[in-house]
Amino acid sequence: MKKFDVFGIGNALVDCVCLVSDSFLDDNNIEKGLMTIVDDKKQKSIIEKIKDTDPFIQSGGSVPNSIYTLSNLGGSGYLSFLISNDSYGNLYLNDIKKSGINTADKKYFFGDGMTGSCLVLTTPDAERTMNTCLGASSNFSIKNINFDDLKLSRYLYIEGYLVTSDVAIEAIKKSISFSIENDVKISLTFSDLSMVKYFREKFLNILNHKIDLLFCNQEEAKTFTGENDFKKCCKKMLEYSELVVITKGDKGSLIISNSGENIEIKPKNVTPLDTVGAGDTYAGAFLYGINNGLSLRKSGELASSLSSKVVTKLGPRLDKNVIDSIKQTMI
């Protein structure tokens, strides 16, 4: 008997979101549109420079954002993560409790160092650029996973950002093999184009066994497969996963499978302010849908509605009352 819809593993980060100009990125040698791993010194330097912009601070992280969405839709989400016992860590734990997200005992998620943070710099064109200081999350390993709880889950959901760490990759591989042995489906998100560009071989190492569900955007899919022709790209993606969900920004999204599904989800007409969290929200809503009786199309439509809403505000997460309102109109 399964207890949890989705067991997520990912970096626990506190997001600091602010609006900046393109020249700010240039002046500080920050590559636009990508996620860059930085050390404590670099992170503190940038934070000092944007402190007068009234940044928006909220718990984040790619898979944690998805689990937040799933849980607030009424799903049973579980999060495996690593933080420190500091002010950001306490903020993170409080947000998890308020969201109804399940976790292991604290012996699994408290580590040394500082709690990780992600500086999300949003330019006037709504594109987000991220500087990430992993902090304690950089030490995420097998010992931070409660395998008894993973066994009770329908899906394992793996964050692509974890491929930057060899000890995290070891934890991913162990989780995948354990899931296969215990009837837990496996899902993965590429998380960011930079991960695919610089860590493609790491993903190939993980995907040597075909998984059940893979989330990515169109550019990530093309970069991963090396195919510029989108039809060929889609065919290639299905070699790695039984079901693939590809988001295409203002062109909607596509759900394809080895069973023959080819479902186009139409885009919503919105004016984006901040695209951070769009893919995470989409994945969380889609995972909620397929675990709670919705069809693939209905799951995609719910995911599209929520992700198009989150881009109209600062920050990667929607308030629960907004999620509830959209859910009521869709289901």
DSSP string, 151-162: TTEEEEEEEGGG
Q: What is the pLDDT of residue 124?
A: 92
Angle in degrees, CA 67, 71, 77, rounded to 5:
60
Mean pLDDT of 116-124: 91
Q: Please, what sign has the CA dihedral across residues 60, 66, 68, 69?
A: positive
Residue 275 has pLDDT above 90, yes or no: no
**Band (248; pLDDT cuts 50, 70, 90):** very high
Residue 296 has pLDDT above 90, yes or no: yes
Tens digits of residue pLDDT in 127-157: 889 898 999 999 999 999 999 999 999 999 9
Among 25-34, 46-55, 287-296, the range scoring the smallest mean pLDDT is 46-55
Residue 283 has pLDDT above 90, yes or no: yes
**Band (222; pLDDT cuts 50, 70, 90):** very high
**Band (126; pLDDT cuts 50, 70, 90):** confident
Q: What is the pLDDT of residue 100?
A: 95
Question: Please, where are the H alpha helices in the chain?
Answer: 22-27, 40-50, 62-72, 87-99, 147-150, 166-181, 193-206, 218-225, 230-237, 278-291, 296-310, 320-330
Q: Which residue has the higher pLDDT, 177 or 55?
A: 177
Among 38-42, 133-137, 234-238, 292-296, the range scoring the smallest mean pLDDT is 38-42
| Total-model pTM | 0.91
Q: What is the pLDDT of residue 226?
A: 97
Q: What is the pLDDT of residue 64?
A: 96
Among 150-159, 273-282, 287-296, the range scoring the smallest mean pLDDT is 273-282
- Domain range annotation of the chain: 4-11+62-92+99-111+140-330
User: What b/e readout covers 265-298, taking b as 16+ CB neighbours within 10 angstroms?
Assistant: bebbeeebebbbbbbbbbbbbbbbbbbeebebee
The fraction of the chain above a pLDDT of 90, given in percent, is 81
Q: What is the pLDDT of residue 123?
A: 92
Residue 48 has pLDDT above 90, yes or no: no
Q: What is the pLDDT of residue 30?
A: 93
**Band (316; pLDDT cuts 50, 70, 90):** confident
Tens digits of residue pLDDT in 56-77: 888 999 999 999 999 999 999 9
Residue 276 has pLDDT above 90, yes or no: no
Fold category of 4-11+62-92+99-111+140-330 in CATH: UDP-N-acetylmuramoyl-L-alanine:D-glutamate ligase (3.40.1190)
Mean pLDDT of 241-263: 97
Q: What is the pLDDT of residue 87?
A: 87
Residue 84 has pLDDT above 90, yes or no: yes
* Diameter over CA atoms, the chain: 55
Cα-based distances in Å from 299 to 93, 144, 184: 29, 31, 20
Q: Which two tokens stand for residue 290?
A: 């397929």
Q: What is the pLDDT of residue 1?
A: 87
The fraction of the chain above a pLDDT of 70, given in percent, is 100
Best mean pLDDT range from 23-32, 38-47, 123-132: 23-32
Q: Please, what sign has the CA dihedral across residues 90, 95, 98, 104?
A: negative
What average pLDDT does the structure give for the chain? 94
Residue 114 has pLDDT above 90, yes or no: no
Residue 44 has pLDDT above 90, yes or no: no
What's the CA gap between 115 and 323, in Å, rounded? 28
Mean pLDDT of 202-210: 94
